[in-house]
A and B are shown apart, each in its own frame.
Chain A
């Protein structure tokens, strides 16, 4: 048997009994309570925990929604509206699940931007990052499919667009299209399977997140300096020292969440989302959820053919590429220095990139006629330039100065 190590000492009879059979309390003790983290973690490092909280909230409210939902093209829309308007606590759970998904994405974007800034995607955290990207993709799929379940005008447009993305593929396109929809056009089989998949994916997320956190624990957390932890003096146990910081950010986050939930639950939704789907009509203004906007703009930006590639297919490739490129970031970034704190040039490019993504998002929220497509094209080009040119080649021009240790940085500040 493996010898006991660590600081866990079971105190009660019950925990002693468990300790030799299924050492769950010991696991919690070692991996959460006496889990040592760098002592200079800042507030941006609390978003991992906020994400766990949001996923839990989505699963709980999702179970409630599922109990009142009828996955039938004739009654789906009605069942949801009915629950939200006259069901017991429907006014709470409907918006909670919807606003919750938006806040889930706010948190994931901050978490992702944090990782990119402090170089947490670099060795030895490549797997942590890649699992993160898979989590992000799964989240997008879940949110997208969930939005279709409402079976509103917007849902119908979204599902045709998504199916169209697959149909645009050469050779296998129409086969994939029919296989995904379960029919020659959108219908009952489509809604049915979307319901099943939407209920299933959150648990796939749970699984991926367990792997993600396992990988984080394996290599230890990065920190704002990007330097490796060199001695125990540079760490603190998670409970209570880091946890108290988490409680603070979680509270602030929840205040904003509650503000949206109770005072403007429909702020991030659209009027057309409350009109029943008609697959023979597309609403006058189709705008996806805000968290898809930058990618939506990229799709709109590709209005030209490239050699033998028709604009439709090229647009689909750009869209897919913009997401899959994230998987290669650990190897695209060739800098030896992790944190952008010590990379002045990269820091400028990083913020330009963030502004670019927000700009792409804003463009997507505008109607096509109001903004010139050239802006979307410039924005899209810069998105790819950042990953394919700046990340690999900028390090050649950088002269970086690095402090010797985390301790040194902390003392300098004082």
Chain B
């Protein structure tokens, strides 16, 4: 079989012949070619460590740094624009028309926030749930300290406003939009992979691991809330 030197493989003929499956590359030849090349360039036989080695290395490192610097703009351009960040970060919602048992969805920072006026039975149901039965023990309520337990009160709008449930209606599994008044716990059901949340949005079964998040909000008056 015809022998190829590795240098020859970089010619069209060489590539072609490799593609066809001629595997006999003569690595010995490579060494001798290089030896000849080096000794012809440099009269004295090459001593192993030379200035040339250093220059090669330095050039290599400098180019590597340069190239990786160039990569960054290619990645960073993929990220969101700054003006998207500014979009309607605070909204106020009039909740006076939301009757018991009704829900209302508003868009806040590109996310659906669901405002629900619970019925008395629903409040009872979530109160009756022992905390031990929960998968996620934290309230996940942005208005309370992070380690607040997930009681039904801590999930609602607070004392005297237990009927109001305000949460970001995004499944904590992979981000679908769960359906309200559905699932095995009469709260929310996510049809993507079957996570069930109870009436105050606590995860009860399925692949999600956290309670649905509660956004930071305030009652400006009895009838109006602001989400910021």
A interface list, Cβ under 8 A from B: 1-3, 5-6, 22-23, 26-27, 30-31, 157, 160-161, 163-165, 167-168, 178-185, 187, 189, 193, 214, 217-218, 220, 279-286, 296, 299-303, 305, 310-313, 315, 368-369, 373
Contact = CB atoms under 8 A, between A and B. Distances in A.
Given A27-B16, A183-B80, A280-B107, A167 B179 contact: no
B21 interface: yes
Interface in B84-139: 84-85, 105, 107, 109-112, 135
A321 to B, nearest CB: 16
B23 interface: yes
Interface in B2-44: 2, 4, 12-14, 16-17, 19-21, 23
B158 interface: no
Contact of A31 (B13, B20, B111, B178): B20
B176 A184 contact: no
Nearest to B85: A184
Nearest to B182: A284
A305 B209 contact: yes
B175 A218 contact: no
A299 B207 contact: yes
B172 interface: yes
B193 A368 contact: yes
Given A31-B20, A184-B110, A217-B20, A167 B194 contact: no
B193 A299 contact: yes
Contacts of B2: 2-3, 5
A6 B2 CA distance: 12
Nearest to B12: A22
Contacts of A218: 21, 23
B16 A23 contact: yes
B84 to A, nearest CB: 6
Contacts of B23: 218
B226 interface: no
A284 B179 contact: yes
Interface of B: 2, 4, 12-14, 16-17, 19-21, 23, 75, 78-80, 84-85, 105, 107, 109-112, 135, 172-179, 190-194, 205-210
B173 A312 contact: yes
Given A217-B19, A300-B207, A312-B208, A280 B174 contact: no
Contacts of B109: 184
A13 to B, nearest CB: 21
A180 B17 contact: no
Nearest to B19: A214
23 contacts: A5-B2, A22-B12, A30-B20, A160-B177, A160-B192, A161-B174, A161-B176, A164-B175, A167-B174, A168-B174, A182-B78, A184-B109, A185-B111, A193-B78, A220-B21, A300-B207, A302-B207, A303-B205, A305-B135, A312-B208, A313-B209, A368-B191, A368-B193
A282 B78 contact: no
Contacts of A189: 80
B172 A286 contact: no
Given A157-B192, A182-B79, A282 B209 contact: no
Given A218-B21, A280-B107, A312 B80 contact: no
B194 A369 contact: yes
B143 to A, nearest CB: 21
Given A286-B192, A310-B210, 4 more contacts: A2-B2, A26-B16, A179-B78, A368-B194
Nearest to A288: B192
Contacts of A26: 16
Contacts of A180: 78
A283 B80 contact: no
Given A179-B78, A183-B80, A286-B191, A280 B112 contact: yes
Contacts of A369: 194
Contact of A282 (B192, B206, B207, B210): B192
A280 B80 contact: no
Given A183-B84, A184-B84, A286 B176 contact: yes
A106 to B, nearest CB: 25
Contacts of A301: 207
A299 B79 CA distance: 28
Contacts of A302: 207
A160 B175 contact: yes
Nearest to B4: A2
B202 to A, nearest CB: 15
Contact of B110 (A1, A183, A282, A286): A183
B78 A368 contact: no
Contacts of B78: 179-180, 182, 193
Nearest to B75: A179
8 A-B pairs with least C-beta separation:
A164-B174, A368-B194, A185-B110, A164-B175, A310-B209, A160-B175, A282-B176, A282-B177
B206 A368 contact: yes
A165 B174 contact: yes
B123 to A, nearest CB: 26
A282 B190 contact: yes
A2 B173 contact: no
B2 to A, nearest CB: 6
B75 A303 contact: no
Contact of A280 (B85, B135, B175, B177): B177
B122 to A, nearest CB: 21
Contacts of B178: 282
Given A164-B173, A183-B84, A282 B208 contact: no
Nearest to A303: B207
Given A2-B17, A283-B191, A157 B209 contact: no
